[in-house]
Structure 1
């Protein structure tokens, strides 16, 4: 049965299907689906910036902002804030350039970062895989204060990044479309790897692009859900000891602390 589901997923992961879904979600008629969509996924519509009937399309509702004060950005000078509302589906130290046992699969920095030489500074660092379900708020925020030193787009597939996709499809995090932001902070560098998924028409940066970013600033957003892989440079991060697989985090809450001082 798994082989059949895998084959069906391969067929449905074509970009043209994702584009069709995206075009409908951006159309005016799709706004009539908002109440049903919100009820189906248990979305907290009272947190949304606007009332559901004010959104012009399902996509506009999905990429909604929140009312002021709905999330608190951790104020600790050295804290790393969660960039998203999500469930942790992978967490741990990076072992010689490999993210070990993410739902039973290993990922190398080489493939995840598309062969970027920047991967060297993360070879013995720390990673978190943060999965956003349709229920979640889908804007991505900056986890640290610092300077954006590079942005990179890697085109790819649109496989699902849910439990089935991560466990049964071949290394979807490094095969799917990715938008990567590298940020230099006071202790080193962090990479925010935004991974596209099935039915995602695109990953969009929030404009205007800025070179200096503050912790909690809007960075980007998903048009129909996905995953963020957060990478922290070698010996620059101490995670919160209570975080583990399956932990739910909210945007802005502390994931741990920056340690050490940059040698760059």
Structure 2
């Protein structure tokens, strides 16, 4: 009995020695050399060589993530990006990438591939295809047609009680009165009203125009000193309906196209980049409605270099020849008088809820308008809205 127990113990000790030797060989192989005092065929030691750079990256990244999380927990707003950070962001070839993305959107997909591709997009961004005029996914030949799909006529009824309706599906980012020359793109982050709309003269660079004092530019937009200037910003996410509509009955006199960057306009980026809407490419339509000044601006974004306005066949955005810092004007009243377009004399008349144009993907629209002092918004920031819903009234 004792001999049997001794034999079993001997076998266990031999097995342990073989396992230990294998582990030592594994450690030597992973570390590249044998521990001090031993040959390469055996020995013990620390299983990994310390790597200072990865260790620094991991600990530094962990610390930065913790600080970022702590700020979010405390409710502190994110810090504004520095001019160097904005310049670095603008140096990325987003205009070139957006043109490439536009070409990809026009590639016709095989019929068998359309449903899987579109279904993945629908699942990712929560698209409601029951609202689409054509629900059959195989009908859309390419991504562009799918993004710009039409809706059923009954999908977006107009609010009859409001003189101003929502121009696009999306989320209200900011709204309110414009008190001076600085307008809030999100709460606490502003952009220049004059830089956004451009000088009141025609055909010059914003940098070459004489600077107006902030009160004079804002006051120059108002037809009556008893009125106020209001604004509303709507952000369209990638899963939203990508066409935009007229928010009121008004007449467009001027189209002003500003070539520019194509940075993201998501609320997170808008909260960090000051003057984001002035830096990005945009198409500003300006005119008048029954209360005075009225403007509607479609702001481009990454992969949204293509902004189309249905009644303006001359407009071409994100063109390689365009240079930032300049803008291009077209007065519809002058074009109609000269017989260059289908516009009615005196500008282009738009009706409330009428389709005006489309984005290639989600982006942002900004409505600036003059109204009596007692105008009040019926929506609030952060609220999800759809085309035709009331934004406010008198």
TM-score by length of 1: 0.87
**Structure 2 counterpart SS, 1:18:** helix
Gaps of 5+ in 2: 1-63, 65-80, 202-216, 313-341
More strand by percentage: 1
2:185 pairs with 1:97? no
Counterpart selection for 1:246 from 364, 382, 390: 382
Residue number in structure 2 paired with 1:256:
392
Counterparts of 1:215 and 1:124 in 2: how far apart (Å)?
21
Q: 1:148 aligns with which of 249, 252, 269?
A: 252
Partner of 2:148: 63
1:53 aligns with 2:138: yes
Shift of 1:36: 1.2
Task: Tell me whether 1:35 sits opposite 2:119 in the alignment.
Answer: yes
1:216 pairs, out of 353, 361, 369, with: 353
Is residue 121 from structure 1 mapped to residue 221 from structure 2 by the alignment?
Answer: yes
Counterpart-to-counterpart distance in 1, 2:287 and 2:374: 14
Greater alpha carbon shift after TM alignment, 3-12 vs 95-104: 3-12
Q: Which moved more, 1:147-156 or 1:120-129?
A: 120-129
Q: Larger Cα Rg: Structure 1 or Structure 2? A: 2
Q: How many residues of Structure 1 are paired with residues of Structure 2 in the alignment?
A: 256
CA distance in 1, matches of 2:133, 2:281: 29
Work out the CA distance in 1 between the residues paired with 2:191 and 2:245: 24
Aligned counterparts of 2:164 and 2:362: Cα–Cα separation in 1: 22
Q: 1:245 to 1:100 in 2, by over 3 A?
A: same
1:12 positional shift: 4.0
Preserved contact between residue 167 and residue 353 of structure 2 (Cα < 8 Å) = yes
Question: Which structure shows the higher helix fraction?
Answer: 2
**Of the two structures, which has the highest relative contact order with CA contacts closer than 8 Å and spacing of 6 or more?**
1
TM-score under structure 2 length normalisation? 0.60
Task: Give 3-state SS (helix, strand or coil) of 2:237's partner.
Answer: coil
Among residues 81, 98, 102, which one is paired with 1:22 in the alignment? 102
Choose the corresponding residue for 1:109, options 188, 193, 210.
193
